Structure 1
Amino acid sequence: MPLHAVELLADEAGDHVVRRDWASLHDAGLPSQLDHTGATNAPHVTLLAAPALPPDEEVVRLLAPLLPLEVRPAGLLVLGGRRVTVARALDVPDPLVAAVAELRRGLAELPHQGWLPHVTLARRVDRAQVQAVVDVLGWEDVPLRLTTLRRWDPEAGEVTVLARG
């Protein structure tokens, strides 16, 4: 079953920072989110992914007042098994954590327990390439300003902007 998502996008400067990481990986011949050529592919923070989402009005009520929102990258994550996802972990403000928890409450089908705030940099990375990925990305953690709230509908292949801050 396809997962619908509620996501936050960075402002132009933050988008550039993440895309720079994507390009560095790509230029080094490593897996990168830059390789995902879908029209809706953009650096984002997924707040909720589920087969069905709360109504847009509820999402906007809980999240729009928080925008714009400053988050601080807090190191790299390596998630998965033989093939992994590499992402930047994010320190996020408590009001965002509370809003995401409230959105998750009452949803019957959630593919993951809890929420791990992050920005994905590369997927399907062979474990043998992880050190090369870390070497390319380095340790620079540039703060991001999240300004756009959107909903991803995989069945329609569309994103809908719900709010900007």
Structure 2
Amino acid sequence: MPRLHSFELVPDDAGQEAVRAQWQALRDAGLPSQLDHRGSTNAPHVSVVEAEQLPDAAFDVARARLAPLLPVTALVGGVLLLGEGRVTLARPVQLADDVVRRVLAVRVQVPERRHLGWVPHVTLARRLEPGDMPRALEALAGVDADLELRLGGLRHWDPDAGEVHDL
């Protein structure tokens, strides 16, 4: 699978710490965790759109319509399982309707995007065996599961350069 460019909403320092505490709880339980991702750009985020290439129009709309709205508050709670077989464990993210409209305005500029619909979430672990879900839920039970995140940054992940750039 090709490496995908993305736009990502990034939480403030307190939000980063809160999500990383959940990553750590999974690791402490001996389960997969986003802490296992050793890349220097690995950080909690909410993906806006992913594609092999992001058209200039998507950058323009992201800068003009989405970035000026930041920071925004996101409510995080519950659990999502994405995929089949080994799954991605995530927390769903609720955002105000105006934020969602602006995200969708960015997404429609990327016709070759990876996912046609948008499920805003914060990833906690990838490639989790379904049979490990009870242990994962137990590990996360001791960590603040219902969060308010302040999403204050919008960045572009450029896998070709291995860098992120603030928009």
TM-score, length of structure 1 as denominator length: 0.93
Deviation digits for residues 70-113 of structure 1, max 9, x if unmatched? 00013110111110000000111111111111112142212212
What is the Cα deviation at residue 142 of structure 1? 1.2
The CA distance in 1 between the partners of 2:97 and 2:22, in whole Å, is: 27
Pairing 1:148–2:149 present: no
1:11 aligned to 2:16?
no
Higher strand share: 1
Structure 1 residue identity aligned to 2:157? W
2:68 is the counterpart of 1:87: no
Partner of 1:126: 129
User: What letter matches 2:63 in structure 1?
Assistant: V
More deviation in 101-110 or 41-50? 101-110
**How many Å separate the matches in 2 of 1:141 and 1:133?**
16
Aligned length: 162
- Over aligned residue pairs, what C-alpha RMSD do you find? 1.2
Give the % identical residues.
48
1:106 and 1:117 mapped to 2: Cα distance?
18
The TM-score, its normalising length taken from structure 2, stands at 0.92
Stretches of structure 1 lacking an aligned partner (at least 5 in a row) = none
Runs of 4+ more than 2 Å apart: 54-58
> Structure 2: any 5+ residue segments left out of the alignment?
none
8 A Cα contact 2:9 2:153, kept in partner: yes
Amino acid at match of 1:25: L
The residue type equivalent to 2:67 in the other structure is A
Partners of 1:52 and 1:95 in 2: CA distance: 26
